[in-house]
Amino acid sequence: MAPPRVLAMVLAGGAGNRLLPLTAERSKPAVPFGGRYRIVDFVLSNLVNSEIHSIYLLVQYKSQSLIEHVRRAWSISHLIAGHFVTVVPPQMRDGPDWFQSTADAVHQNLGLIDHHSPDVVAVFGSDHVYRMDINQMVRFHLERNADVTVAALPMPLEQCSAFGIIRPGPDGRVAEFREKPARPEPMPGDPGRALASMGNYIFSTDVLIDTLEAMRPCSEQDFGRDVLPRLLRTHRVYVYDLALNRVPGIKPYEDQPYWRDVGTIDAYFAAHMDMLGEEPRFEIFNPNWPIYSDNYLGPDTRIIDGEVRDSVLGAGSMIRGARINRSVIRREVVIEPDADIDECIIMDYTVIGRGAKLRRTIVDRYNNIPPGSAIGEERHPGRNQAAASPPPITIVPKGKRGSGLVY
């Protein structure tokens, strides 16, 4: 039997207001992550590793940075039919409106779906950090003759107001779906957790097209808030538990499964910390299921002197006698002598001046931190004392290209 034809529609148009100021000049999927990635690289890598190569990326707000990244990093061979990652801005074929909602973004591109005639359409978000074999979810969908399948996983109850919450029936069908409820209902037998939607869906193609066409008179439709509750009454909607998914190469010490919505500063920072340590919760390097990004052709990392503990150093960075602890340093960063970097994320093309002290700080790209600066330090007195809750995170917004002493 021939494998099912899968077309992916990746929703990458969100404004990302909760990640400001990191999203002041770029969309959320384009925000840098780890030593060399962008957030969008995770969903695209999961699709390509799952041998789903027909991918449309639906963009909208502040999309130029994302478009440039995809052009550099995601040029899939044009010699093989159906192998592409194509950026699609709002087409405005039915009027002057940009995408009004997640469902409207897909509706404006039904012509692309009709052109490819896939068996199923994967509608996935682009602002999560995770690994997933999407083919396993597709098989689950087809084996149950489902019309829609929603990916989900158990989450702590105190976090669930930010997600769509699913109450499954005994046969695995979705009995109830509530979008971001103020008081989430816990899972049966698990009072501390609820089953949260990941915002990733598999649709049978005819169901997706018919549903969006029927709902077209009101364009402001959201998949979680509007489309799924409507389909529950008339169609076979199933829930796929990410805990069932098996990705090769996952280490025993990693969280299984690992999935983080990095849509807030706290979550974004915490996901970086999850990559650190001898046994990290999320091992970013997995040769059996790699996370792809652009191929950097710059210099290697150089450590002239200093102390580096439990940190990630991006390519082309230079460390000159600094102390770095539990931090992520991206590429072509220069850190001068006697600088003290503790639990920080330092993005590309930044210079940290001599003797500067930074703690729990995110420094966006193209910054030049003056010598002797103290960022985060004054907000965290008594740094060696135990605290009831983590100290706040300081953010230095993106600087201007060329302002740093980049070599």
Run of H or E including 165: strand 164-168
Q: Which two tokens stand for residue 154?
A: 């158990």
CB 338 within 8 A of CB 354: yes
**Distance separating alpha carbons of residues 356 and 354, to the nearest angstrom:** 6
Run of H or E including 341: strand 340-342
Q: Which two tokens stand for residue 10?
A: 């990746």
CA angle 168, 171, 177 (to 5 degrees): 20
- Cα separation of the two ends of the chain: 55
**What residues form the annotated binding site?**
164, 179-180, 197
**What residues form the annotated binding site for alpha-D-glucose 1-phosphate?**
164, 179-180, 197
CA angle 74, 42, 206 (to 5 degrees): 85
257: preceding bond cis by omega (within 30 degrees)? yes
Residue with tokens 């109830």, as numbered in its chain: 176
**Distance separating alpha carbons of residues 83 and 70, to the nearest angstrom:** 14
| CB-based contacts of 96, cutoff 8 Å, min separation 6 | none
Amino acid letter for position 233: R
